[in-house]
Structure 1
Amino acid sequence: MASFVVLARVRHFARAARELNTTQPAVSMRLAALEAELGCTLVRRRGGDFALTPEGERALKTFEGVLHSLDVLKSDLSGQPAAALDVVRIGAIDTVSSTWMPPLVEALHRRSPRLKVELTIESTKNLVEGMERGAYDLIFALDPVIGESYRSFVSCVFEMSWVGSARSVDPERVYTVEDLAAMPIVTFPRGTPPFRMIAPYFQDEQVLASKLTSNNSLFSIINLVIEGFGIGALPTVTVEREIGLGLLTVLRTAKRLAAMPIIATYQATTNTEVVALAVEQARLSAAQYCAAVDAERAWVE
């Protein structure tokens, strides 16, 4: 039950395994056992997509209530009231979760041991919608949330690069826009902020659409590019390991891609002391991360 709640929150089996201090196969086995016990499918998986089924959404609400009741029961039976926890609800896109989000969470726990960080990994669209309905205190996405009760700032900026499988691209060749337009491209779905970033690169979206394979998971896109399904426009810092292992190659191009700003938006009217701490540490963690990597690949404005 607890494993399912963590999995539903982070929306990724490997991240759930890390948080639960176990293995990815163990998380999958726990989910399968729970689904067998309940007699229904809780999670829908297609390629790199992850979504809760309607039954999964109902189960999540019930399990969260049960776990809370268990905490209350333990406190009552011990005769000692549980110390109140401050909670900060943070949402982030994959690009942030794979770079400076872990140091941010660790730093928040060091600074405030009684602070509970509820972290959710989602798309920009879902994060913005979640913030608007009050599901988050702080999000890191590619679009800001507009409104009187929100404040936004650029937390950091990531260099974007065209990358391809080391088996299929020439590292010495300088690729023109026309060369890239003639190649298969793996990217996020039409209408998403990452797609909006690369579409103007080609001027003509029809050219792009004719060669497009779309996926809404950063990690799935990386794997598809490694397997040679096409080239991808990705934040360079998110594929440094794959580049170092010789799995991916950065294409030399005649035209640079626009950089990717990571926009932080936070609630300015609720739980202001906790949110202020999270925002302050987010600025510090982003700056520390950028200072530790190649200055051309990530920076703070």
Structure 2
Amino acid sequence: MNLRFVEAFYWVVSLKSVSRAAEKLFITQSAMSSRIAALEEELGVLLLDRRDKQFRLTVAGMRFFSHAQRLLALQREIKGEMGAGGAQRAVTLRIGAIESVLHSWLIDWVHQMRRGNPDVELELTVETTPVLVDQIHRGALDIAFAALPSVGERLRSRPLPPMEMVFVGHGQIHRKRRYTLDDLAGFDLLTFQRGSQPHVGLMDLFRDANVGLKRVHNISSISAMVQLVEGGFGIATLPLAAVRRLSERLPLKPLKCEATLPPLPVHASYRDDPTSMVAQGVVEAVVEYVGGSKGLSRSSKKAMK
């Protein structure tokens, strides 16, 4: 039995789509359909019900799916045991992240990861949390770092340390040593898109203090917010870690305030994969890195091979 065909069937079922499974395995949709057809011919049964456009497994398909999971897991174990110490093959990682993660620690982590795994090929997507959650569900990403966890069948999430959020102004314009909420309410305030955690947290902070806001601008891009602050447009709410990096070359200044913004939660989400421990190993490495060790664990390096 060709295990590539078994793997094709596994991803078609997991992603509930032939086209998404083909994208996941970097093959054409026709090639994916051919693999499923060849597997059905070998087994002598139909695995997919093709009578309408709705994805549906046959009874035989449901039974074989559990066998497929065990076969692929066994293949991974055998490769891990018999191939220990062998040559490392190239691995493509499709990673998605919100901008707050990108501007805080992701780039440093990528450099660290590549030093231990030079053959890794990276596909990086920077998007909002709703888009990243959708892409993980569709199988378009291997790992997503977002403000919400991805929840669903065979999806896994790990919480990462939340990001401290601060009010950020222009170093030459906003000179007060300490700001009250009344002070801040007099400025144009810039935060992330409407309904996002930073936006909701900002509105709740002022509402709970019974302080009315002048204007709140919803900007989905950190780069755009930074340019607006740099131009004297207003005050932004950004992750402190991102501000520290950006202030090395820009006139940004975290403002001391009597009130504290809610931290930004971050979750690492990935899909179970019986053929590979790469995604899980990468997430474990990120948890270790962001937690303060700044390095890849030995087990994570092994998982990348």
Tell me the TM-score normalized by structure 1: 0.62
1:266 paired with 2:270, answer yes
TM-aligned CA deviation for residue 246 of structure 1: 7.2
TM-aligned CA deviation for residue 242 of structure 1: 4.7
Instruction: Render the CA deviation track for 1:69-107: whole Å, top value 9, x for unaligned.
Output: xxxxxxxxxxxxxx9633221111122222322233234
Gaps of 5+ in 2: 1-22, 28-87, 296-305
Contact 1:124 1:193 in 2 (8 A): no
Aligned positions of 1:3-14 closer than 5 A? none
**CA–CA distance in 1 between the matches of 2:272 and 2:229?**
40
The aligned counterpart of 1:126 is: 131
**RMSD over aligned Cα atoms:** 3.0
**CA–CA distance in 1 between the matches of 2:232 and 2:131?**
29
The change in CA–CA distance for 1:112 and 1:164 in structure 2 (over 3 A counts) is closer
Instruction: Render the CA deviation track for 1:139-158: whole Å, top value 9, x for unaligned.
Output: 11111111132221222222
The aligned counterpart of 2:102 is: 97
1:178 paired with 2:154, answer no
Instruction: Render the CA deviation track for 1:121-142: whole Å, top value 9, x for unaligned.
Output: 1111211111111111111111
Contact 2:103 2:245 in 1 (8 A): no
The aligned counterpart of 1:160 is: 165
The aligned counterpart of 1:239 is: 243
The aligned counterpart of 1:87 is: 92
The aligned counterpart of 2:122 is: 117
The change in CA–CA distance for 1:114 and 1:243 in structure 2 (over 3 A counts) is closer
1:221 paired with 2:216, answer no
Aligned positions of 1:185-196 closer than 5 A? 185-196=189-200
**CA–CA distance in 2 between the matches of 1:121 and 1:264?**
14
Residue type of the partner of 1:287? G
The change in CA–CA distance for 1:199 and 1:111 in structure 2 (over 3 A counts) is same
**CA–CA distance in 1 between the matches of 2:250 and 2:113?**
35
Aligned positions of 1:272-283 closer than 5 A? 272-283=276-287
Gaps of 5+ in 1: 1-60, 66-82, 292-301
SS at match of 1:237: helix
**CA–CA distance in 1 between the matches of 2:263 and 2:289?**
20
The aligned counterpart of 1:108 is: 113
Contact 1:144 1:152 in 2 (8 A): yes
Contact 2:198 2:262 in 1 (8 A): no
1:150 paired with 2:176, answer no
TM-aligned CA deviation for residue 115 of structure 1: 3.0
Instruction: Render the CA deviation track for 1:228-281: whole Å, top value 9, x for unaligned.
Output: 111111111212245456712222211111122221111124644111221122
Contact 1:125 1:192 in 2 (8 A): no
Residue type of the partner of 2:189? I
Question: Which entry has the higher C-alpha Rg, 1 or 2?
Answer: 2
The aligned counterpart of 1:141 is: 146
How many pairs does the alignment contain? 211
SS at match of 1:98: helix
Instruction: Render the CA deviation track for 1:3-42: whole Å, top value 9, x for unaligned.
Output: xxxxxxxxxxxxxxxxxxxxxxxxxxxxxxxxxxxxxxxx
Residue type of the partner of 2:198? P
The change in CA–CA distance for 1:282 and 1:166 in structure 2 (over 3 A counts) is same
Contact 2:189 2:215 in 1 (8 A): yes
Contact 2:161 2:290 in 1 (8 A): yes
The aligned counterpart of 1:80 is: none
Tell me the percent identity: 31
Aligned positions of 1:14-93 closer than 5 A? 85-93=90-98
**CA–CA distance in 2 between the matches of 1:85 and 1:175?**
51
**CA–CA distance in 1 between the matches of 2:287 and 2:102?**
15
**CA–CA distance in 2 between the matches of 1:289 and 1:217?**
29
The change in CA–CA distance for 1:102 and 1:166 in structure 2 (over 3 A counts) is closer
**CA–CA distance in 1 between the matches of 2:120 and 2:270?**
17
**CA–CA distance in 2 between the matches of 1:139 and 1:85?**
21
**CA–CA distance in 2 between the matches of 1:178 and 1:270?**
55
